[in-house]
Amino acid sequence: MAAPKPRTTRSRSHRDVPDLEKMDAAYSWDALEWTKIEPVTRSVSRVNLDCLLEAEQVIAEGYGVVLVNTDEAGTLFVTNFRLLFLSEGTMDVISLGTIPLATIDKFNKIVVKSNAVSRQSEKSSPSRRLLQVIGKDMRIIVFGFRPRTKQRRKVYDALLRCMKPARIWDLYAFQCGPSKYSNTDPKVRLLNEYFRLLGKGSLHASMSMIEDGSFTLSNELWRITKINSSYTLCQSYPFALVVPKHFSDEEMLQASTFRARCRLPVVSWCNPGTGAVLARSSQPLVGLMMNMRSNTDEKLVAALCSNLAGVRGSQRRKLYIADARPRKNALANGAMGGGSESSSNYFQSEIVFFGIDNIHAMRESLTRLREYLDTHGEKSSDGMSSFLRHGGWTWGGGNLSSMSASVSTLGDSGWLIHVQSVLAGSAWIAARVALEKATVLVHCSDGWDRTTQLVSLASLLLDPYYRTFAGFQALVEKDWLAFGHPFSDRSGMPTVSGSGNMPYELSRQSSTGSFSSSPMRQSSGAFISQASSSPHAQTSNNCSPIFLQWVDCVSQLLRMYPFAFEFSSAFLVDLLDCMLSCRFGNFLCNCEKERQQCAVSEVCGCLWAYLADLRASEGGSHVHYNLFYDPTIPTKHEGALLPPAAALAPTLWPQFHLRWACPKESQAGELEVRCRKMAIQLSEMQKDKEIAERKAQEMTAAMESLKSELQNEKQLSTSARNVAKNASKECEAIKRAIQSLGCKVQVSSNGYCTVDIDGDLMKKSNQKSHPASRRTSHRSLPSPSEENDLSLSITVTADDVPSNPLSHICEALCPLRTRDGGCQWPDAGCAHMGSQFIGMKANFEAFDQLSIYDGYFKPE
């Protein structure tokens, strides 16, 4: 039984009042008529919602809640997976107010007290109870609760319990199970990608191959080693690695001790044709004085630089060591034992620093960008647009343009500057590999954040396979998941080790309870933060939007090269939403080893299977497909994309950054919308074409059946004609037999039979049968004495003769008839022919009625 809907009476919405009155109402929050909302108490057990996902359960709920961003009233549910907000009347899901628990960055309680004129009005105007929720997906939402109902406390406590559980197996992904979104083991897919890179794409990996260790294949330059199959070499590396062919496993063990966290240099991507290599590692442990060396590490790096093919003298290819950090940061890491390589220790090498900031700078930058968009967006967390907030039209005002919001405009946040740095570094790496056929070794401090960004983005530029759906999945699973990007640490989720002390990030000094990003908010009332003093309010220093920033870089490349990518920007948005929500197990844990310990691939659902199912539901017209994708367009440098420096000017990603603050701006461009509509129309026309083709096939089958029937009719007609010919011959034989008796017989097609008998024959017949003639004197036959040359004409019609008409002729004229009417010659030809007369006559009548001519059946 459905739960009764709460009754909420509200005076007037923001949309129903003039601008000045609306602005005043917004400043005093009077648009939310809290005191007029009738209290409602319901039990969670009675809630039965059709919108709940599999294994999703309601933990707490609040009725008569107002979404301050849009001034909508509804019901707020806290489930084991998300914060679900349903509209008051229709019970539809409000997307802005619905956010997965894992996507919530922080939340806190806020009390709003209006500026009262008198004490009496202050007493009659109770404070507003608000709950601010800040998401990792660029939205800041605020819910308003009725005072003195304790609904906010119930929702707040439920969020404390469910948002970040202490144990990883308490996450929704483990409770839901694989369901229908199961997939093969990620180890198998990693080996398939290795086989492709080694030029052995025709081979297919299997679990049996992994179990018996028979996956150690090789080509002329590289081999797949199983030295890390038990994760003893490096816990954050995958079980299989691609290394130089003539570099032994014992030497790899020695080289790993010279790199931070044992992340030694290995091959991430290679060109089978040119031998160019893109390798990755962590920083070397050179120490404070930068004087520590490792002969094995130098030998391994030198082995990555194979000889150039087709060059005299076996010239070695150039080695570039790309350090993603600023130079000063690399030097500072030397105090902790780290540092950077020296070009004098590595033959024919060049050290390049990209100057990309660390994870903490990225986290702060995204926070500033989120607050900036909330301030200038159309739907703000304080219920006011920038037009009302500033008392007039300003830049933004609900019209935040992604093109105008360039690097210079959003310079204070620094987000686009960081994106530009990653793009520029990746383009530089791709150019060195594609143009110079050089070997590039990329690393940062630990080799799993900035290194992963640069290596995967450079691979995307170099290899067109990675710009397809299957290739993009292989790229993410190889460089991000297999090589140990710490997704749990970066998203603040519990891990296998140390899952009992996971801090809850609910408030921070920059944004807790102050609404500092919105001008003039302090004039509307006193905002008092009620952030908890418990350890849950601590900030996790390891959270950072590294993967989000990389996907943002991919969207920038998609904007620059719209014909080169099979997937669209909508696919990237859905990928990010699934990653942030932790609905599936692909992005849980920090490395491949932890995911194997938790049996994630067996227990949890697969994100890639879910996205593939979405695409299969609508075919090629799905929004995940890029309408402009054309793999046949030729590109320079063997399919590599090498953007010029002038093109690396990123803009806001409207489909992701602006979808909550400026929904209109987040929509696709006009050209893409028109193409999408045309694609839908084309899909409908193709469906109509398929229906028409099926009908045409049915008609063709019917015509073939009719043709077969006509062929049968032709055969039957030919057979009937043969029968008619035979009947005609028999008729001629009958006539000759009767004529042999002295009679002349004429049979017409209308059934008349005429027999002429000569007088001499009648005379002889009468002489021989005189007694009989006397007894039959009643016959009207003339006597022979009257006329010697008498001829007798007897006409018999088909209507007068019910049986064989020749039998009557025999009875009257045959000289071989006995007195009792029998025939003295039963085996005579006339008797046999008489028995066939009826059939012959029926055949002639049938042929006379046929309308099928010889010309009707055309020769085949």
The 3-state secondary structure of 427-445 reads HHHHHHHHHHCCEEEEECC
69 neighbors 81 (Cβ within 8 angstroms): no
455 neighbors 278 (Cβ within 8 angstroms): yes
Catalytic residue list contains 444 = yes
339 neighbors 297 (Cβ within 8 angstroms): no
665 vs 373: CA distance, rounded Å: 12
What is the average pLDDT score of the chain? Answer: 78
Query: pLDDT value at position 74?
Result: 93
Share of the chain above pLDDT 70, in %: 69
Out of 177-191, 347-361, 667-681, pick the least confident: 667-681
User: Catalytic pick from 234, 270, 305, 444?
Assistant: 444
For residue 49, the tally of other CB atoms under 10 A from its CB is 16
Q: What is the dihedral of CA 194, 200, 204, 207, to 10 degrees?
A: -50
φ, ψ for residue 287 (rounded to 5)? 85, 180
Query: pLDDT value at position 845?
Result: 72
**pLDDT at 219 > cutoff 70:** yes
Return the structure tokens found at 140: 């800041």
444 vs 298: CA distance, rounded Å: 18
Query: pLDDT value at position 173?
Result: 92
Strands (E), 344-499: 349-353, 439-443
Q: Which amino acid is at 611?
A: L
Query: pLDDT value at position 164?
Result: 82
Most confident option among 40-49, 702-711, 732-741: 702-711
Query: pLDDT value at position 822?
Result: 61
Q: Would you place residue 831 in the very low, low, confident or very high pLDDT band (cuts 50, 70, 90)?
A: low
Return the structure tokens found at 412: 């204070």
Residue scoring higher pLDDT (411 or 258)? 258
Residue scoring higher pLDDT (127 or 824)? 127
757 vs 744: CA distance, rounded Å: 7
3-state secondary structure 689-701: HHHHHHHHHHHHH
Pairing between β-strand 128-135 and β-strand 72-79 as defined by DSSP bridges: unpaired
CB-based contacts of 846, cutoff 8 Å, min separation 6? 720
Span 625-643, mean pLDDT? Answer: 83
**pLDDT at 387 > cutoff 90:** no
**pLDDT at 381 > cutoff 70:** yes
The residue whose two tokens read 């497909």 is 625
Q: Would you place residue 753 in the very low, low, confident or very high pLDDT band (cuts 50, 70, 90)?
A: low
pLDDT digits (tens, 9 = 90+) for 756-807: 655 554 555 455 444 433 333 333 334 444 444 434 344 444 444 444 555 5
824 vs 217: CA distance, rounded Å: 105
Q: Would you place residue 448 in the very low, low, confident or very high pLDDT band (cuts 50, 70, 90)?
A: very high
| pTM of this structure | 0.72
Q: What string of DSSP letters covers 506-563?
A: ---TTTTTT-TTSTT-GGG-EEEE----SGGGPPPTT---HHHHHHHHHHHHHHH-TT
264 neighbors 234 (Cβ within 8 angstroms): yes
CB-based contacts of 800, cutoff 8 Å, min separation 6? none
Most confident option among 500-509, 587-596, 650-659: 587-596
Q: Which of 636, 645, 476 is nearest to 560 (CA)?
A: 645
In the β-sheet with 743-747, what is the strand arrangement from edge to edge?
A: 743-747, 753-757, 792-796
Query: pLDDT value at position 617?
Result: 86
165 vs 416, 501, 579, CA distance in Å? 33, 10, 17
Span 178-202, mean pLDDT? Answer: 90
644 neighbors 361 (Cβ within 8 angstroms): no
**pLDDT at 544 > cutoff 60:** yes
Query: pLDDT value at position 748?
Result: 63
Q: Find the helix or strand (DSSP H, E) in which 323 lies.
A: strand 319-323
**pLDDT at 510 > cutoff 60:** no
762 vs 773: CA distance, rounded Å: 11
Q: Which amino acid is at 161?
A: R
Residue scoring higher pLDDT (263 or 119)? 263
Query: pLDDT value at position 701?
Result: 92
Q: Would you place residue 622 in the very low, low, confident or very high pLDDT band (cuts 50, 70, 90)?
A: confident
Query: pLDDT value at position 755?
Result: 62
* CB burial of residue 377 (10 Å; 0-12, 13-18, 19+): buried
Which of helix, strand or coil describes residue 573? helix
**pLDDT at 717 > cutoff 70:** yes
Q: Which amino acid is at 290?
A: M
Q: Find the helix or strand (DSSP H, E) in which 737 lies.
A: helix 670-740
Q: Would you place residue 456 in the very low, low, confident or very high pLDDT band (cuts 50, 70, 90)?
A: very high
Query: pLDDT value at position 760?
Result: 55
Query: pLDDT value at position 415?
Result: 94
746 vs 735: CA distance, rounded Å: 8
Span 80-84, mean pLDDT? Answer: 94
**pLDDT at 299 > cutoff 60:** yes
DSSP 8-state code for residue 393: -
φ, ψ for residue 319 (rounded to 5)? -110, 125
Q: Which of 608, 273, 668, 347 is nearest to 473 (CA)?
A: 608
**pLDDT at 232 > cutoff 80:** yes
766 neighbors 783 (Cβ within 8 angstroms): yes
Q: Would you place residue 829 in the very low, low, confident or very high pLDDT band (cuts 50, 70, 90)?
A: low
Q: Would you place residue 737 in the very low, low, confident or very high pLDDT band (cuts 50, 70, 90)?
A: confident
pLDDT digits (tens, 9 = 90+) for 300-336: 999 998 766 554 445 778 999 999 999 999 999 998 9
CB-based contacts of 836, cutoff 8 Å, min separation 6? 727, 730, 734
Dihedral sign for Cα 713, 715, 719, 724, please: positive
141 neighbors 63 (Cβ within 8 angstroms): no
Residue scoring higher pLDDT (246 or 406)? 246
Span 403-424, mean pLDDT? Answer: 76
153: left (phi over 0), alpha (psi -120 to 50) or beta: alpha
CB-based contacts of 479, cutoff 8 Å, min separation 6? 268, 280, 452, 455, 456, 459
Angle (nearest 5°) at CA 418 between 139 and 558? 75
Q: Would you place residue 70 in the very low, low, confident or very high pLDDT band (cuts 50, 70, 90)?
A: confident
Span 463-485, mean pLDDT? Answer: 96
91 vs 727: CA distance, rounded Å: 88
* CB burial of residue 133 (10 Å; 0-12, 13-18, 19+): buried
